[in-house]
Amino acid sequence: MKKKRCVLCDFEFEYDDKVNESVFVRPYGEGAEYYHDLWHFHVDKCPNCGYASRDISHTYNKLITHDESYKAIGDISIIVELNEVRPNRVEAYMKAAYYYDSISDIYNSGRCLLQAGDLVYAELLYWDEYVFNSKDSLSALVSQAQYKELKKFADHLYNSAIQRLEDFVKEEPNHVDAWLLLAGSLLDGDKVQVIRGTRMLSSIADMDLTDKQRAALDFLKNDVR
């Protein structure tokens, strides 16, 4: 446990800085670990004022918690439903993404949205196993509708993250880590996205890479389906 003081409301609290991720995401090998660490990181969320970012002891937007759209994230119906079933960190990552958008840091926004989407996909698996009811036809229809709603929400977060990463590499074409993250994320998408991600890997191979980045590239190439 660690202690932190929120820069916006001066509230001090203890927190666990363990990275929250899907139980199915585990890095094996140098390349896999490097890629994994590109987008898996902890975000703080102040339990008093709700400010969320990678480090809430600092901010570039002192008015973020007064933003009505920011505050409304916790009231999104799917977020409310997810929180009612079991604790999760989806809201924290979505709020952190909104904060980074507000300061034009689209790289960190995209990375936070990737984590939010990944967590929703993980909750989808949990709901499919323990929450959805298929004992009768009506319950099955309701469960199917809920499943589609959750899947649509997760896909929205994923595609929003992809868009931010694409915008970022246009601005920073030599940012190798961003290219690796974008390519790897596309490989988890639909058929068209997988094709784009695969082509992107070939372009990245011609960039000036560190040994760890080269290992991450090799890992992603081996992961192409």
> Residue 43: exposed, middle, or buried by beta-carbon count in 10 A (0-12, 13-18, 19+)?
buried
Kindly report, residue by residue over 76-135, the tens digit of the pLDDT: 999 999 998 889 999 999 999 999 999 999 999 999 999 999 999 999 888 877 676 655
Mean pLDDT for the stretch of residues 176-181: 98
- CA–CA separation, 182 and 176 (whole Å): 10
Q: Which two tokens stand for residue 30?
A: 């140098």
Q: Which two tokens stand for residue 55?
A: 């480090």
- CA–CA separation, 96 and 55 (whole Å): 10
Helices (H) and strands (E) in the chain, counts: 9, 4
163: left (phi over 0), alpha (psi -120 to 50) or beta: alpha
Q: What is the pLDDT of residue 138?
A: 39
- CA–CA separation, 20 and 116 (whole Å): 10
Residues 6+ apart with CB under 8 A from 30: 212, 215
* Range of 136-140, 141-145, 203-207 with top mean pLDDT: 203-207
- CA–CA separation, 162 and 170 (whole Å): 13
Average pLDDT, the chain: 90
Which amino acid, 149?
Answer: E
Total-model pTM: 0.88
- For residue 76, give Cα distances in angstroms to 56, 64, 102: 23, 18, 19
Q: Which two tokens stand for residue 142?
A: 């309701």
Residues 6+ apart with CB under 8 A from 33: 27
